[in-house]
């Protein structure tokens, strides 16, 4: 990157308005972690060039990375207004609103991305995730089924749909099939392993569930949901000591929506005193 910077600075002296060279300069300064300079060069890329879409996404990403999320949203909003059918602009604007937990707007722009490119599994997957965060499990599941239709080996969608079924306590045979298929493609994934354990938990097969949930926590030791799942399983196996241990561990990792977990801990403490 240091060598590239020297060459590019020389080139820009001759053609300072070149979109191609400004795009290259942006990539170089991004590699050098000089985000301010990267953004200034990416902004020089003209809309009528093949480098423009990538430059817009880079500007938004870098602004967001520097904590300027509102500015990133405003920048992408303008880009979408000027290019309403650009799937990538709509997609990244949707993800920005998702991070702000403004799910209605996130869904709007992610749906725009899907409408612009019906066969892009990335757009369907993100739309499904946001439907889930907004509390619409049915719409989320429909999006995940579409991802799997496009890419039958999409491990994350297979797992997401399987876990959703398991968490709702329905279609457990299908949930098991989906999650085992996901594990074929990501055999050492802690989240997918946890999902399979949760299917067995929902079936009441607590000893089998324990095997998978312990393995999942050994792979991903800091996830509060996994730790809580393990606590739930120990509780069902009449092992209050270990249940309390993992509930308390989960509570130290969980940043919000802790009330239900706190109630579990209180009930356990009261029952053992």
Q: Return the number of other C-beta atoms located less than 10 Å from residue 104's C-beta.
A: 9
Residue 256's pLDDT is 87
Distance CA 139, CA 122 (A): 16
Distance CA 22, CA 24 (A): 5
The pLDDT > 70 percentage for the chain reads 100
Q: Which of 147-151, 221-225, 257-261 has the lowest mean pLDDT?
A: 257-261
In this prediction, residue 1 has a pLDDT band, given cuts at 50, 70 and 90, of: confident
Which strand (E) or helix (H) includes residue 151?
none
In this prediction, residue 272 has a pLDDT band, given cuts at 50, 70 and 90, of: confident
Between the CA of residue 167 and those of 57, 195, 201, what are the distances in Å? 35, 9, 10
**pLDDT tens profile 73-131:** 999 999 999 999 999 999 999 999 999 999 999 999 999 999 999 999 999 999 999 99
Residue 273's pLDDT is 67
Distance CA 4, CA 134 (A): 45
Residue 153's pLDDT is 97
Say if residue 187's pLDDT is above 80.
Answer: yes
Report pTM: 0.90
Distance CA 257, CA 260 (A): 7
**pLDDT tens profile 132-144:** 999 999 999 999 9
The answer to whether 250 and 261 are in contact (CB under 8 A) is yes
């Amino acid at each position: 990157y240091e060598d590239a910077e020297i060459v590019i600075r020389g080139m820009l002296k001759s053609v300072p308005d070149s979109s191609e060279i400004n795009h290259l300069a942006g990539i170089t300064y991004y590699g050098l972690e000089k985000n301010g300079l990267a953004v200034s060069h990416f902004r020089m890329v003209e809309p009528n060039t093949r480098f423009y879409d990538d430059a817009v996404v880079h500007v938004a990403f870098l602004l967001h990375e520097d904590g300027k999320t509102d500015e990133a949203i405003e920048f992408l909003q303008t880009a979408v207004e000027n290019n309403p059918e650009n799937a990538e602009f709509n997609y990244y604007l949707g993800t920005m609103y998702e991070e702000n937990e403004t799910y209605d707007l996130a869904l709007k722009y992610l749906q725009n991305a899907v409408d612009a490119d019906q066969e892009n599994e990335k757009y369907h997957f993100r739309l499904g995730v946001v439907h889930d965060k907004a509390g619409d499990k049915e719409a989320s599941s429909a999006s995940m089924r579409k991802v799997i239709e496009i890419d039958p080996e999409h491990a994350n969608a297979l797992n997401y749909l399987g876990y959703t079924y398991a968490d709702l306590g329905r279609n457990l045979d299908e949930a098991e099939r989906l999650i085992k298929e996901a594990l074929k493609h990501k055999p050492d994934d802690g989240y997918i392993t946890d999902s399979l354990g949760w299917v067995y938990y929902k079936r009441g097969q607590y000893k089998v569930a324990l095997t998978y949930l312990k393995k999942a926590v050994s792979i991903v030791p800091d996830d509060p949901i996994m730790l809580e799942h393990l606590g739930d399983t120990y509780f069902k196996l009449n092992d209050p000591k270990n249940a309390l241990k993992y509930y308390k561990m989960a509570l130290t990792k969980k940043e919000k929506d802790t009330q239900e977990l706190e109630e579990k801990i209180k009930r356990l403490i009261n029952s053992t005193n």
